[in-house]
Amino acid sequence: MLQNQTESIKTDSRKEAALPFWVNILIRNFKDTYTRLVNSIMKETIKEHPLRTIILRFDSSKPITDFEQAALNSYYAQHDKTWEAKSNLRTHKDTLFDLDIKITELEYKLYAIEQQLDFLEAGLKIAHHPHLPKIEEEFSIHIDEFNTEVLAHSDTLNKLREEIIPEITWYNNWADFIYEHEDWCYDEDSDLIHEVFRRYEEVSIDIISLDDDQQAFFDAHSEVYTLQTEYFKYAQQVFNMFNILQEQAEKAYRRTERVDAYIHKNLKDLGDTF
């Protein structure tokens, strides 16, 4: 209402120019006085929230009604829940990145183990590997060192499994939660904000400032949904990488056991170097 009144006293600059000089001065003085009056009534409040800065204006001549306060409390709670979700998604996405690095490191180490197994199986005639790379220089594989390398890989993989299980659990719990609570950000008092807009003449809050602030909140909330989509996609990628690594590693461990058993049974007198 105050804004509409402010708009009504605006005059075209060309009309002002046609008026006597002293009339223009009176008009401008009246505008300044009216603006100061509006500003003296409307008090701006700034609430620093970790999600975003909340800026609202209130009519100091009107007390805040109970339903209005309940609506504001719900609005602030929406910020709290959105920030909590954003913080959790960021934290778990960062953890996934660390797991991604560890998985990749184990993949490279497993590749080296598989290459040595190819040579061992071919040399012992346990398996046929026609596509082995040609190596000009003579080389040897120390069986004890190789077994130690495989055991270290298995131990690191087991530790990594213990790290990834809590992430899988959180992923599943969050997916279940948002499925069961599609409007997880809102509570039973969230609809009161619409009542505030309908009863704009009696409430203390300036609904124009509320509308502007709410639109900014919707933008921040939308960013969290984008982050959530990125998290789910990345989590599925990392979990799939780990599953593939586990399957390939188990195959390599079984191959190592067969090689070790063959050596101990048939070539135990040749020492630990092949």
Angle at 29 between CA 207 and CA 60, to 5 degrees: 30
Residue 155 placed within a domain: yes
Q: Are residues 177 and 95 in the same domain?
A: yes
Instruction: With respect to residue 60, please indicate whether it lies within any of the assigned structural domains.
Output: no
Return the higher-pLDDT residue of 234 and 179.
234
- Do 42 and 85 fall within a single domain? no
Task: Please tell me whether residues 87 and 2 are part of one structural domain.
Answer: no
Same domain, 110 and 18: no
On whether residue 57 sits in a domain, the answer given is no
Residue 55 lies in a domain: no
Q: What domain range includes position 27? A: 1-48
Among the ranges given (68-77, 224-233, 242-251), the one the predictor scored with the smallest mean pLDDT = 68-77
Identify the residue with better confidence: 239 or 181: 239
Residue 100 has pLDDT above 50, yes or no: yes
30, 80: one domain: no
95 assigned to some structural domain: yes
Q: Are residues 138 and 255 in the same domain?
A: yes
Kindly report the pTM of this predicted structure. Answer: 0.77
Q: According to the model, what pLDDT value does residue 91 have?
A: 98
With bands split at pLDDT 50, 70 and 90, how would you rate the model's confidence at 6?
Answer: very low
How many domains are there within the chain?
Answer: 2
Buried b / exposed e along 228-248 (16+ C-beta atoms within 10 A): beebbeebeebbebbeebbeb
Tokens 């990125």 -> residue = 230
* Strand positions, DSSP E, 8-116: 42-48, 53-59
Sorting pLDDT into bands at 50, 70 and 90, what band is 18? low
Q: Residues 102, 163: one domain? A: yes
246 occurs within a structural domain: yes
pLDDT, mean of residues 64-89: 93
Q: Looking at residue 42, what is its pLDDT?
A: 75
| CB contact at 8 A, 197 and 212 | no
Q: Is residue 12 part of a domain?
A: yes
Same domain membership, residue 234 and residue 101: yes
User: With 60 as the cut, is the pLDDT of residue 146 above it?
Assistant: yes
Q: Residue 72 CA to chain centroid, in angstroms?
A: 27
Residue 83 in this model has a pLDDT that exceeds 60: yes
Query: 70 and 41: one domain?
Result: no
User: If you average pLDDT over residues 170-190, what whole number do you get?
Assistant: 86
Tell me if 185 is assigned to some domain. Answer: yes
Structural contact between residues 213 and 75, judged by C-beta atoms closer than 8 angstroms: no
- The two tokens of residue 255 are 């191959």
